[in-house]
Amino acid sequence: AQKITQTQPGMFVQEKEAVTLDCTYDTSDQSYGLFWYKQPSSGEMIFLIYQGSYDEQNATEGRYSLNFQKARKSANLVISASQLGDSAMYFCAMREGDRDDKIIFGKGTRLHILP
Amino acid sequence: DGGITQSPKYLFRKEGQNVTLSCEQNLNHDAMYWYRQDPGQGLRLIYYSQIVNDFQKGDIAEGYSVSREKKESFPLTVTSAQKNPTAFYLCASSHSGSGTGELFFGEGSRLTVL
């Protein structure tokens, strides 16, 4: 069963607009971590932001913020004031539990920023 | 500089041949991972290792094998039993036990089976 769901295969957004990339997850663990990664066309994987399940506040890193809604099992990535360089694949990922280092990914969303 | 090195970057092989992809890290991380990436499939976990001489199967381990004899190294062998081995392979590592534990990735190895 898929544990990380990204429902938007592709998105087109006008430059300077904010964009929200959706991610829902499924776990029965109380302790888990959620990640977002960016993959430009070069193929490298860039870590963007992390949210722990016990963190009370939404994580923020510069123009990136994570809209964490625990009850809905949702961890959407928000990019404010999008730039042309934000065009890339974006992946949501999860680590379940405290003792296991297994990290699984969603299928990704390809974001296109339009000038 | 600290990081993860994957080699080779590109690899071509004939059907039926085993292939070994190298992954080395000098970040002193305990955990290491192999993912496979196909278009539209995201990253799928093949194997991961939390400690030397131990590793666990991921979601698509069939047709692959790994070893973890040293902390720094986690080679992946794509065997002839893997039915569709052409893909982009990513190795990663993470620091266990504290902090966010985010993955640090290598640049990937693209395997094409002819």
Q: Is A42 strand, coil or helix?
A: coil
Q: Considering chain A, what percentage of its residues have pLDDT values greater than 90? A: 88
Secondary structure letter of residue A99 according to DSSP: S
Cis peptide before B8 (omega within 30 of 0): yes
A89: CB partners within 8 A, 6+ apart: A38, A39, A40, A108, A109, A110, A111
pLDDT of residue B39: 86
State whether B42 and A105 contact (CB < 8 Å): yes
Structure tokens, A67: 């809209």
**Backbone torsions φ then ψ of A81, nearest 5 degrees:** 45, 65
pLDDT of residue B26: 96
Structure tokens, A2: 């898929």
pLDDT of residue B96: 75
- Which amino acid type is present at position A106? G
The mean predicted confidence, pLDDT, of chain A is 94
Comparing B2 with B7, which gets the higher pLDDT?
A: B7
State whether A101 and B104 contact (CB < 8 Å): no
Categorize the per-residue pLDDT at A97 as very low, low, confident or very high, splitting at 50, 70 and 90: confident
Please indicate if any CB of chain A lies within 8 Å of the CB of B16. Answer: no
A30/B62 Cα distance (integer angstroms): 30
Q: Is B27 strand, coil or helix?
A: coil
pLDDT of residue A2: 59
Secondary structure letter of residue A31 according to DSSP: S
Comparing A72 with B40, which gets the higher pLDDT?
A: A72
For residue range A1-24, what is the model confidence (pLDDT) as tens digits?
559 999 999 999 999 999 999 999
> Which of B103, B107, B111 is the best substitution to test chain A (most A C-beta atoms within 10 A)?
B103
pLDDT of residue B95: 87
What pairing do the DSSP bridges indicate for beta strands B31-38 and B54-57? Answer: unpaired
Q: Which residue has the tokens 């041949």?
A: B17
Query: What residue in A sits closest to B94 (Cα-Cα)?
Result: A101
A42: CB partners within 8 A, 6+ apart: none
A36/A108 Cα distance (integer angstroms): 10
Distance from CA of B112 to the nearest CA of A (A): 16
Structure tokens, A78: 């928000």
For residue range B31-88, what is the model confidence (pLDDT) as tens digits?
999 999 998 889 999 999 999 999 999 999 999 999 999 999 999 999 988 889 999 9
pLDDT of residue B79: 93
A90: CB partners within 8 A, 6+ apart: A21, A36, A37, A38, A39, A48, A77, A108, A109, A110, A111
For residue range A47-59, what is the model confidence (pLDDT) as tens digits?
999 999 999 899 9
What pairing do the DSSP bridges indicate for beta strands B109-113 and B54-57? Answer: unpaired
The shares of helix, strand and coil residues in chain A, as percent rounded to the nearest 5, are 5, 50, 45
Q: Pseudo-torsion of CA B65, B66, B67, B68, nearest 10°?
A: -160
State whether B31 and A45 contact (CB < 8 Å): no
Comparing B60 with B1, which gets the higher pLDDT?
A: B60
